[in-house]
Chains A and B, each alone.
Chain A
Amino acid sequence: MHDLSAELRLLPPEPANDAARPQALRLERREILSVRPELLFALYVGVATLVAGVGVLIKSNLHRIGPLALLSGIFAVSALCYALALRVRRAGRERSLGEDYVLLLGALLFSTAVGYAEVKFRVFGRAWSWHLLWLALWHWGSAYFFRSKLVLSVALTAFAGWLGVQAQLGALFEPRYRLLGLGPRALFCAMVFYAGGRVHVFERAEDGGFRLVYLQFAVNFGFWGALALSADPGTRWIGAVVLLALAFASANFGLNERRESFLIYAVGYSTIGLIWLEVLMLHDFALASWLGLFTVIAAVVLLTRLRAYLRASTQ
């Protein structure tokens, strides 16, 4: 173990420090220990294992258990989870970490049940993917009702799923036609999410931080769409332009809002995209390697400069 309380005591007494220093001193002297990260990990693994177990149950017992019995069971557990969140809401208090994950479990079980019902009963027929839109709307409504960022993430991912967008490397090379390929669909998703973020432009941080959730999804889907456009020979240049424009916008936002993650996205995605383009377009291995090396050096310099600028602006 190590103890940095000696250094903390050396800090000059200032009003800005006085609020944070006593808590930091207690943490360093091990008078308190927050087990929140461990609990968070356990809750996530618990939810993931439980939901995956339900998935395996459905897959391996499609014929043995009646669909109504299965659906009733899953919906009942999901309803219990929602009921717990409802009880907390009625009590007028904030959900704890555990209660947040119970709500997430409810949302995921609901998705599982709806997905199973769609496969079994073909409610939407050929337009089967519409169930994802309805799921997205349900999760979106419940995210606002319960003020849950985790459920909002589920809603946004379900919406992207309805549009056929998934952030997987293999999906970038899908042989679909250009105008409705992964790139334009991911960019459309990004625009919708950005619009969602704009709605919350005057949101206070304590209101749940929905704006940042929207923007995080928007920037990631946007970059993913630009990378997908770059992968297609027909839209390669459009992809490159979109990639650089997004990198500029993301870096600008990061600097203005003092959010380092957006700087990281800007530098990271644009570097990977540019190297990818260089490898795809140059057939000379050595030349592509040289260009790639210079791109990485430029990215490191840019990242250092941007971070220095960010630090200077926050002081």
Chain B
Amino acid sequence: MIIARPTVSEERWLVLANRYPALRPAIEEAGQEGAWKATTRLARCLGFVLGLLGAGMFAGVLATFPSPWLLGGLVTIGVAEWLVATRRIFHSGVEEALYLCGAVAVVVQILVWNHSGDHEEIAVAMIATAVLLVGWRLLNPLFTTLAAAGFSLAVSAMDGHLFDSAAHGVEAGIFCAVLSAIALTLGSRTWQRPSHDHMLDGLVILMPWLSYVWLQSGHYYGDAFTRHAPWALVVTCTFFVANLLVGVRQRQHAPLIAALGSLACTIHALDRLLSWTLHWKMMVCGAALLIVALVLDRWLRESRNGITSQPAVEPALGLAELAGAAHLAPAAGSAPPEAVHGQGGSFGGGGASGRF
């Protein structure tokens, strides 16, 4: 069976055109991308939303049909395959959303037929497998990473029920840690397909954080926090150091991002050892992070062993930056109460909302 997707060479050229917009005309002129049409990140996001909307509307159309999940799932998978095979779209978002919804719908129909309510771990594992297959089919790193997270959820629910106890949180934590270590090791090799490399990146970034969450999960269920918390701290500190070293030595972004996540987990773990009030913890952590980032930004203004804080390519208007700043800004609010009681109401962002 021939699966319609870009060859290794075509994918490499597609990624190259996306990564360096200034070189795109020359790359397209070289004509090595085949007939595949790639898209930008923003358009891919909209495509994904449209795909989800389309799948939702189609579900509404099929509401009165017998076995609607199976029928809808198979049709949406068929449409996604048709889009990939005939329209030659790659990572456009639409086919990804359709494929994902279709695969999950088929699995849901099977689960509905089997009535496997007592074994939720099997249901989760089946859905995760479907997501993994879609990720592999469409070379989508986000889906493969989500599938890994789903498998860890299935491991944690080995006693048959989700979220009602933390009996297997440790096993799930170990599963994530092992997966992360394997991904970190494999990520150091050179991969021909950029998407395979990105799949490993996804695991490197998410799994240490998830491992920490599972190891600490006993606390949220009221279990003895002291038993596993030190191990969670050790694991997250180990990943912080390992990721930082690998990221700096091999000049990779994913381990550095993972190190940032591990740092947040380490702070969360240490937070329990301190009896400070919440606002002091937040202010000290925020200030410390800000100062470290400022020092690094200044120190790396000149390239140090090839590592720099200067932009690698010409920076575009940062929509995410603007949205982030706007999110922190004073928001509209209602009139302040007649007398200030010091409790109730809300307070956030710039805090000038009059809603203390």
Nearest-neighbour CB distance to chain B for A284, whole angstroms, equals: 11
Chain A residues whose CB sits within 8 angstroms of the CB of B251 once the complex forms: 30, 32-33
Is A286 within 8 A of B60, CB to CB?
Answer: yes
B15–A4 touching, CB < 8 Å: yes
Q: Does A184 sit at the interface, judged by CB under 8 A? A: no
Determine if A241 is an interface residue (Cβ-Cβ < 8 Å).
no
How far apart are the CA atoms of A158 and B192 in the complex, in Å? 49
Report A-chain residues with C-beta under 8 Å of the C-beta of B119.
Answer: none
B257 within 8 Å of A (CB atoms)? yes
A91-109 contacts to B (CB < 8 Å)? 96-99, 101-102, 104-105, 108
Q: Does A239 contact B (CB under 8 A)?
A: no
Q: Is B252 an interface residue (CB 8 A)?
A: yes
Interface pair B331/A21, CB less than 8 Å apart: no
Bitwise interface map of A from 33 to 70 toward B, beta carbon under 8 Å scored 1, else 0: 11111111111111111111111111111110000000
Cβ contacts under 8 Å, A46 to chain B: 286-290, 293
> Does A7 contact B321, Cβ atoms closer than 8 Å?
no
How many angstroms between the C-alpha atoms of A120 and B7 in the bound complex?
Answer: 65
- By secondary structure, the A interface counts as helix
Asked whether, in the complex, the Cβ of B340 is within 8 Å of the Cβ of A119, the reply is: yes
Cα A33 to Cα B23 with chains together (Å): 19
Secondary structure type dominating chain B contacts: helix
Q: Chain B: how many interface residues by the 8 Å CB criterion?
A: 110
User: Bound complex: CA of A165 vs CA of B329, how far in Å?
Assistant: 13
- B282 to chain A minimum Cβ distance, whole angstroms, is 3
Q: Chain A contacts of B30 at CB under 8 A? A: 10-12
Q: Total interface residues on A, using CB and 8 Å?
A: 119
Chain B residues near A40: list those with CB within 8 A: 321
- CB neighbours (8 Å) of B331 from chain A are 157, 161, 166
**Chain A residues proximal to chain B, CB less than 8 Å:** 1-4, 7-8, 10-12, 14, 16-17, 19-21, 23-24, 27, 30-63, 96-99, 101-102, 104-105, 108, 111-112, 114-116, 118-120, 122, 126, 128-129, 131-132, 135, 149-151, 153-154, 156-158, 160-166, 209, 212-213, 216-217, 260-261, 264, 267-268, 271-272, 275, 285-286, 288-290, 292-293, 295-297, 299-300, 303, 307, 315
